[in-house]
Amino acid sequence: MRQENILMGTNDMPTLKTVLIAICVFVVMSCVFSNAYAAGNNWDSLLAVGVRCSGLPKELILSVIWNESRGNPNAVNINGVASYSPSSPEQALRYVYHHNRANVDVGLMQVNWLTWGPVYKLTVADLLDPATNVCVGSRIMRDYIAEHGGSWRGVGRYNAVSYNKQAAYAYRISQTIQQIQKLYRLAEN
């Protein structure tokens, strides 16, 4: 039985609507990522850092970045309830320190500082560096995937503790990976 494809449905030939949706997603992701990541850096080299640090596929790393921060290297989430999209690392640090360095997720991969900062001997400012954040976030995910026997549950564990939340997150990541792969194929043609 053929599995339904996220952009193409069950047909092999894309409809005009699916092509337009793919183009819109590509344009939006390109704009967000190009504006969010500082000039002089590029996404390929940043994703290569994540691949080198973890051995994970770049599509998985990019999918997590998109779902966690929408490509904002200064993204901050306080206690899982308040998300901020600061325009600079300094502004991000002000949010964090205003909340007394509470349970905060920071950067592109929303690495939890309270949990992982001490493990990797990193400050919040360190985790706001895009390459450091992607390297650490990718390593954490790699370890969770290994801990869960190479399954998607390890991807879900990167974001959540409860099984239902893990399953929902893993599904969201897998769907984003499919979209990214479609966009790569469209860009190649």
Beta carbons of 85 and 75 less than 8 angstroms apart = yes
Domain membership of residue 7 (yes or no) is no
pLDDT recorded at residue 41: 55
Query: How many structural domains compose the chain?
Result: 1
pLDDT recorded at residue 2: 38
Q: What is the pLDDT along the chain (189 residues), one digit of tens a residue?
A: 333 333 333 444 445 554 445 455 555 555 545 444 443 458 899 999 999 999 999 999 999 999 999 999 999 999 877 888 999 999 999 988 888 767 899 999 999 999 999 999 999 999 999 999 999 999 999 999 999 999 999 999 999 999 999 999 999 999 999 999 888 888 777
Domain membership of residue 10 (yes or no) is no
- Domain CATH number, residue 182: 1.10.530
